[in-house]
Amino acid sequence: MKRVRRVLTVLAVAGCMMMTAGNAMAAEDGPKFKLGAGTYSLLINHDGFSSGGYSYGEGDDRFYGGALTGTACFTKHLAVRGALYATEHYDYSWLEAKGMELQLLVGTDFYEGWNLFGGVGYYSETWKVDAGTYYGVTLTGEKDFSGAEATIGVGYSWSKIAVDYVLNFRDTSDYEDIIGVNYAVSGGLNISYIF
């Protein structure tokens, strides 16, 4: 329930920002919104852990999947970007990560041509384990993670199509509740329709 409340609060703030930016958007020429889809990857580098006689060594946990993205361009230099993603662990198909990201971005030109951008944001995700039943014991569970992230990216926009590569450096404190994390990075390549 806390997660739903957090997501609704973030969406309400973003909605208010978009409504109040109407005058600024109407004053400039160029595309205002981008809706798209693309790849999504999550890499978590950790020190490993040991629990209940089970040892999980240091290394990387890698998740791959897809994302739906939306960007509201307030001006050619200021935008809000959101993504909904669903991924699966590279080595363990019974482990999934699904979530959302919301970022406030500053860039060189969100409207047309090359764009280098950066910003700050928030992520919220749920890991779901469904490893089946062994000796009468069902191995399922969920764990929620959330935190801040710093975003960088590069993209190119034509009149109706945009391509972006986004990289997010996540705050790892929420992951550290279960494992010692060195760093967590997410990102992906997206193609969007501009209107």
With CA atoms as reference, report the closest residue to 174 among 103, 140, 126, 130.
126
pLDDT digits 0-9 by tens, 116-132? 999 999 999 999 988 78
Q: Is the pTM of this model over 0.85?
A: no
pLDDT for position 18:
47
CA distance 150 to 18: 21
Set out the domains of the chain in order of their start, with CATH numbers. Answer: 2-194 (2.40.160.20)
Tell me what the pLDDT averaged over the chain comes to.
Answer: 85
Residue 22 has a pLDDT of 45
* pLDDT tens, position by position, 131-189: 787 787 878 889 999 999 999 999 999 999 999 999 999 999 888 877 778 899 999 99
**Around Cβ 132, how many Cβ atoms within 10 Å?**
9
Q: What pLDDT score was predicted for residue 23?
A: 44
